[in-house]
Structure 1
Amino acid sequence: MVQVTLEVGPLRAFLDGRWAGIREEVRAQIRASELLRPTTGLSVEDYRARVLEQTRMISETRSARLFFPREYGGESDMGGALAAFETIALVDLSLLVKIGVQYGLFGGVIRRLGTERHHQRYLRAAMTMELPGCFAMTETGHGSDVQSIRTTATYDPSREAFVIHTPDDDARKDYIGNVARDGRMAAVFAQLITGGEGRGVHVFLVPIRDERGRPCPGVRIEDCGLKGGLNGVDNGRLWFDQVRAPRDALLDRFGTVARDGAYSSPIANETRRFFTMLGTLVSGRVSVAGAGLSASKLAMTIAVRYGLTRRQFRAAGSGQEVIILDYLQHQRRLLPALAMTYALHFAQEALVESLHRAADGDSADESEQRQLETLAAGLKAVSTWHTTQTIQTCREACGGAGYLSVNRLTELKADTDVFTTFEGDNTVLLQLVAKGLLTNFRDEFGSMDTVGMVRYVADQVVGAVLERTAARSLAQWIADLMPGSEEEANLLDRRYHLYLVAWREKHVLEAAARRLQKLMANGGDPFTAFNVVQDHLLLAARAHVDRVVLEHFTAAIDRCAEPVTKALLDQVCDLFVLSLLERERAWFLEHGQLSAARAKAIITNVNRLCRELRPHARLLVDAFGIPEELLPPLVREAEAARVGR
């Protein structure tokens, strides 16, 4: 138990991490600028205009330059860019999404899928907002299944141009940020056709508006209208009616078309080429996970600080009403969620470090790239689900005051709701994680559809799962972790925590593989087999993410050099993992890894940790470093009233 006086400085510095200077630079800009303040009550048009003005302001700062290569005026600092974006997200998530579309998606696809001529022509203009852009991938009929989109790009060798076409309304580009009002060029995902043969999905840079803001010939634009949140972003729809784009409009890093229409690619397999292209855009998922965590931190700060000022009901023999955070149930509402926010922060930090290492490495290790893609998919899903649940909890914890728009919680709830489905539907992303866990042979899987993948699992991979996958590689590590029998293990022993979550991951993954094998051995249809086991695969993916998050939290504590801060983080980690075990105790009981007595002891220890961490709740949220200028009246007025009493 932490018993000494704590200061927020060391903990904030530790949380800010490698890019602390950039985070503080953005905080200083927020404090200095009235433009970077939350607003309510604007019309949709005024809100969009304000967000565009904010975006142009950001384009003049270092935050924009961080994402882009040095040779085009940037700083080539992917980790720094993500740290800046996470901090900007505290201002307004519409602003975060707007700059994410401009820099992360539009600029990012040019950088990662284009070649030098595209970089020279467009990157600086994208960075400075001279060329507002869009990322036109999703269609009305296809969101998650990008490989099946139906917009076409047919090469015409007589004109040395591609003909971009929307065959019907189901193939229109939909929900595209920056389209309805501001975008002038779109990165259009389309099925490439050369010589009458389909070559799969590629990306083309297509002008959609002229310099006066009028739609280009053959381009039809429609506003998506009022949304459930993020109304500062101008989402829209696009149709292309035989629109011609020059041959160099193709972003051709992974596939090029010669003047005569001959197609060539360094990756022969079409499906593998497609997934390689998408893999280069992993930063979008990392950004969404980080933005969701920023929203969680803001919501937690509001709810905890309100909970430290709001009083209700008098205790017997007391003349004062009780501070609501002194009630155990209020602690249980907020503090386990705060502990998980901390855990996800350190997992996100590790993910950003991995992305930063890979960002400029065109010849990056293939295995490391796959691990990065798997972790990004898993953390994006778990982090944004956590965001959705946490903001709702914080809203309820603030009562009616939390329902006022000016107090930001309803805005956060509305704006983050879509985070669970954009940049990848969370359920689909967890299936990608499970796919990565089933085998080390991702190359074979990457070139197969679902039917082929399941047949391969049934024929070859089950043995590999037991011998060579993450599950098998955990086996000796798990044995080394177990500190004796369950009765001998200390409930607060970190090795015991790691053992339990690793054992769960291994057990669930092996069981899922065996179910697939059994279904196929009994003559089952491959698609049906995969569908029947889908729930098991999703559980395996979630168990994997839980284990990885705990590992990263543990590693962060191990590298913390300041003893008092380290002791506090150790307690927060205890609360995180015991809350996880409490949530999953039925599973552990069913599988013989917890006794009934130990399951009850977990509940007792969660209660104890909530009580012990309650005196440090303010420090734990202050360490997030959210500028006071961004906190709502709910916090400021309640604290002023308390001081005045």
Structure 2
Amino acid sequence: MTPPPAPAPSTAVRDALTTVLFGPDFRTEHAFWRKLTTTEPFRRRTCATPREQLDLGYARLRLINRSLDSAARLACDVRALTALHEWLGPVDPTLTTLAGIHYNLFLGSLLDHDPEGRRDLSAYLRMDEVGTFLCTEVAHGNDVTEVETTATYDHDRDGFVVRTPHARAQKFMPNTSEAGGPKSGLVAARLVVDGTDHGVFLLLVPLTDGTGTRPGVRVRPLPARMGSPVDHCLTSFDDCFVARTALLAGVQGHVGDGGEFGSALASRRRRLLVSIGRVTPGKLAMSACAVGSARVALALAVRYAGHRRVAGPRGTGSVPVYAHRTHHGPLADALATVFAMSLLHRRALDRWESSTDADGRADAERLVAVAKGWITWRARDVIVECRERCGAQGLLEHNGLAELVTGIEGTITAEGDNLAVQAKAAAEMLLSAPDAVGERSGEGEAPVGDLRDPAFLRGLLADTEAAWFARARSRMSAAPPGDALGRWNAASGAALRGVEAHAARQAAEAFATSLAALPEGPARRRLAEVERLFLLRQAGRAAGELLAVGRVTAEQVRALPDLYEEAVAAVAAHAPALVESFALPDEVFADRPIAGAAYADAHDDPAGPWHRTPVRTAEGATR
């Protein structure tokens, strides 16, 4: 079936769907960052070398800082931070990385642990110095509780001596080079007072002064890596001294005037989690960056598919490549995924901001972590699919897809490797009460429901989640007792599938909430079509497990492919119009030739023979 050309969306439909994707406060949360991407300093440009791109990123970072009414306010506003990543991530991944480190991990941590404003942050707020964050070590990443850099209290000098004990403890991948001007960093180190290790804390350490490293600091560049150029380095400390005030103190701990250590928290792990609490907003920022990048990739691919023409069936002439089901099908599926990613991101952000008590905060933090993994993995799927749908044009740097392909890998690893983050969530959910993971009783009961009913399809997602966690518990119980790692290994595969189903269920519930808020009309119909495609895709992936636990019948499983094809056709017919709801400014497309019908003009040769006026010879021939 060839989808008919999509009608231009009405302003009302486009605006309604934009509100669905971005929330009701678009002007407050997003308009500033969207506008910034249209200004000349932030327009897409070609840099000859990675160093030029890096220098451009730092220059743009300072432009952002000068445009703010308050750098501190940005650092304290998680919605503004995520919006920055959502809009600037696909425009300049280098800039987004630098901004996330400076405003969230560095400034945000300093402000969180100094609510009374006793520390002078003016150099960082003016960006006379750029802030960075040194936590990961060569041998310690997700196991941050095991970092080996030490900060030993010196009573005589009333401060700390920061030391790197061996090569494995070098700080790995902070942006600590001379690029970007003077820098200070928050260094995660084991706090040692009077010979006692009190766990990992953060200390503010000056690193460079614009001409070189500070005393006791050593910085070496890492080899080139894939993705956007950032000055990632190995950083080590040779008896680097900082004053006692360098310690980021609070409920996690402090060192008093007499050099005694005190803490309101007995658990060293809890002390660390309080110290590095800014990692959770960082996960939200990574999700936002992935969502924004996937939107741009999909919009480019859909535009290109509409004006790239290929031979149609015999005797019909050429048709847009989008006319082929093999081409528009994956793009329609990607569109449903991008809507789901957007809605899950908003849901996690809302939950994080609204959580108040300890239990609610823990649940919200887990959802943020699960969403980060699911969204960034799905973004990679979407971006790679869109690149492939654009063929060789998608490989050219000036079209902007290639950098999205490599850039998404950074979001998958940043703020906690996805697999490690998902495994932690899986373990927590596995050990929770059954109702905490939506487990439903009655395995083997005859299903009651219609595959055309979205409520039934959402219920199947809950069934899938429950089934995978039930399988994980069963495998754990069957494993030999006394072997904790063996028991986890037996359960982990199924538990991770349960986390994946949990993320999809959360996205499905976000769809339902958004639909309930829309009045009857075209916008609601378009969103319902997108929701249906997403739900059917999830049901199809879980069909075997659902059949095994008696939640669907064999007849329903056989019906799923045809229902899915119907849903693809419905979404594909409106995909060009639906991407208008992404609110991407024209400037984003103007700087990427592939987005325009005249994309071939980017390859024109002014000296090509087609530009020469034919000259007629005396014999009447032309040359």
The answer to whether the Cα contact below 8 Å between 2:171 and 2:234 also exists between their aligned partners in 1 is: yes
> How far apart, CA to CA, are the structure 2 residues paired with 1:192 and 1:284?
24
The answer to whether the Cα contact below 8 Å between 1:290 and 1:348 also exists between their aligned partners in 2 is: yes
Instruction: Report matched runs for 1:626-641 at 5 Å.
Output: 626-631=584-589, 632-638=592-598
> How far apart, CA to CA, are the structure 2 residues paired with 1:418 and 1:132?
21
> How far apart, CA to CA, are the structure 2 residues paired with 1:117 and 1:153?
24
Aligned positions, number: 590
Please list the CA deviations of residues 523-574 of structure 1 after superposition, one character each: whole Å capped at 9, or x if unmatched.
3411222222221221221121121111112111111246321111011000
Deviation, 1:508, is: 1.8
Identity of aligned residues (%): 26
Q: Secondary structure at the match of 1:116?
A: coil
1:412 aligns with 2:410: no
Name the residue aligned to 2:299.
Answer: 301
Deviation, 1:79, is: 1.5
Deviation, 1:640, is: 9.2
Give the structure with higher Rg (CA).
2
Instruction: Give RMSD over aligned pairs.
Output: 2.5
The answer to whether the Cα contact below 8 Å between 1:312 and 1:322 also exists between their aligned partners in 2 is: yes
The answer to whether the Cα contact below 8 Å between 1:180 and 1:224 also exists between their aligned partners in 2 is: no
Please list the CA deviations of residues 66-96 of structure 1 after superposition, one character each: whole Å capped at 9, or x if unmatched.
x734xxxx69532233223311223111111
The answer to whether the Cα contact below 8 Å between 1:310 and 1:638 also exists between their aligned partners in 2 is: no
Name the residue aligned to 1:188.
Answer: 187
Name the residue aligned to 2:572.
Answer: 614
Instruction: Report matched runs for 1:95-494 at 5 Å.
Output: 95-117=95-117, 120-122=119-121, 124-179=122-177, 181-182=179-180, 184-210=183-209, 212-231=210-229, 233-253=230-250, 254-318=252-316, 320-357=317-354, 364-440=356-432, 465-466=433-434, 469-472=436-439, 485-486=446-447, 489-494=449-454
> How far apart, CA to CA, are the structure 1 residues paired with 2:59 and 2:520?
42
The answer to whether the Cα contact below 8 Å between 1:180 and 1:237 also exists between their aligned partners in 2 is: no
Q: Secondary structure at the match of 1:174?
A: strand
> How far apart, CA to CA, are the structure 1 residues paired with 2:24 and 2:72?
19
Deviation, 1:23, is: 1.7
Name the residue aligned to 1:26.
Answer: 33
Deviation, 1:10, is: 2.8
The match for 1:37 among 11, 36, 43 is 43
The answer to whether the Cα contact below 8 Å between 1:304 and 1:334 also exists between their aligned partners in 2 is: yes
Q: Secondary structure at the match of 2:236?
A: strand
Aligned-partner residue type, residue 60 of structure 1 = R
> How far apart, CA to CA, are the structure 1 residues paired with 2:327 and 2:458?
28
- Greater mean alpha carbon deviation, residues 533-542 or residues 385-394: 533-542
Name the residue aligned to 2:616.
Answer: none
The answer to whether the Cα contact below 8 Å between 2:75 and 2:108 also exists between their aligned partners in 1 is: no
Please list the CA deviations of residues 216-260 of structure 1 after superposition, one character each: whole Å capped at 9, or x if unmatched.
0110111224221111x2211211000011001000022101133
CA gap of 1:582–1:180, structure 2 versus 1, over 3 A, is farther
Deviation, 1:275, is: 2.9
> How far apart, CA to CA, are the structure 1 residues paired with 2:548 and 2:285?
37
Name the residue aligned to 1:93.
Answer: 93
CA gap of 1:76–1:530, structure 2 versus 1, over 3 A, is closer
1:68 aligns with 2:35: no
CA gap of 1:4–1:34, structure 2 versus 1, over 3 A, is closer
> How far apart, CA to CA, are the structure 2 residues paired with 1:263 and 1:115?
21
Please list the CA deviations of residues 141-188 of structure 1 after superposition, one character each: whole Å capped at 9, or x if unmatched.
111110011000011111111010001111000111354523510100
Aligned-partner residue type, residue 268 of structure 1 = A
Q: Secondary structure at the match of 2:140?
A: coil
> How far apart, CA to CA, are the structure 2 residues paired with 1:170 and 1:228?
22
> How far apart, CA to CA, are the structure 1 residues paired with 2:305 and 2:333?
15
Aligned-partner residue type, residue 587 of structure 1 = E
> How far apart, CA to CA, are the structure 2 residues paired with 1:608 and 1:322?
22
> How far apart, CA to CA, are the structure 2 residues paired with 1:194 and 1:76?
32
Deviation, 1:628, is: 1.9
The answer to whether the Cα contact below 8 Å between 2:138 and 2:172 also exists between their aligned partners in 1 is: yes
The answer to whether the Cα contact below 8 Å between 1:112 and 1:281 also exists between their aligned partners in 2 is: no
Please list the CA deviations of residues 308-340 of structure 1 after superposition, one character each: whole Å capped at 9, or x if unmatched.
11111122442x312211211112211111101
Q: Secondary structure at the match of 1:60?
A: helix
Name the residue aligned to 2:608.
Answer: none
Deviation, 1:115, is: 4.8
Aligned-partner residue type, residue 52 of structure 1 = Y
> How far apart, CA to CA, are the structure 1 residues paired with 2:178 and 2:338?
35
> How far apart, CA to CA, are the structure 2 residues paired with 1:505 and 1:407?
39
Aligned-partner residue type, residue 469 of structure 2 = L
The answer to whether the Cα contact below 8 Å between 2:75 and 2:104 also exists between their aligned partners in 1 is: no
The answer to whether the Cα contact below 8 Å between 1:78 and 1:355 also exists between their aligned partners in 2 is: no
Deviation, 1:285, is: 0.4
TM-score normalised by structure 1 residue count: 0.86
The answer to whether the Cα contact below 8 Å between 1:377 and 1:432 also exists between their aligned partners in 2 is: no
The answer to whether the Cα contact below 8 Å between 2:461 and 2:538 also exists between their aligned partners in 1 is: no
1:552 aligns with 2:519: no
CA gap of 1:415–1:538, structure 2 versus 1, over 3 A, is same
CA gap of 1:268–1:524, structure 2 versus 1, over 3 A, is closer
> How far apart, CA to CA, are the structure 1 residues paired with 2:594 and 2:565?
27
Name the residue aligned to 1:81.
Answer: 81
Name the residue aligned to 2:58.
Answer: 52
Unaligned runs of 5+ residues in structure 2 are 602-623
Name the residue aligned to 1:444.
Answer: none
CA gap of 1:76–1:216, structure 2 versus 1, over 3 A, is closer
CA gap of 1:41–1:29, structure 2 versus 1, over 3 A, is closer
TM-score normalised by structure 2 residue count: 0.89
Q: Secondary structure at the match of 2:100?
A: helix
CA gap of 1:177–1:562, structure 2 versus 1, over 3 A, is farther
Deviation, 1:213, is: 3.2
Q: Secondary structure at the match of 1:268?
A: coil
> How far apart, CA to CA, are the structure 2 residues paired with 1:294 and 1:155?
45
Q: Secondary structure at the match of 1:68?
A: helix
CA gap of 1:243–1:329, structure 2 versus 1, over 3 A, is same
Aligned-partner residue type, residue 35 of structure 1 = P
1:502 aligns with 2:433: no
Deviation, 1:15, is: 2.4
Please list the CA deviations of residues 446-477 of structure 1 after superposition, one character each: whole Å capped at 9, or x if unmatched.
xxxxxxxxxxxxxxxxxxx34x53345x66xx
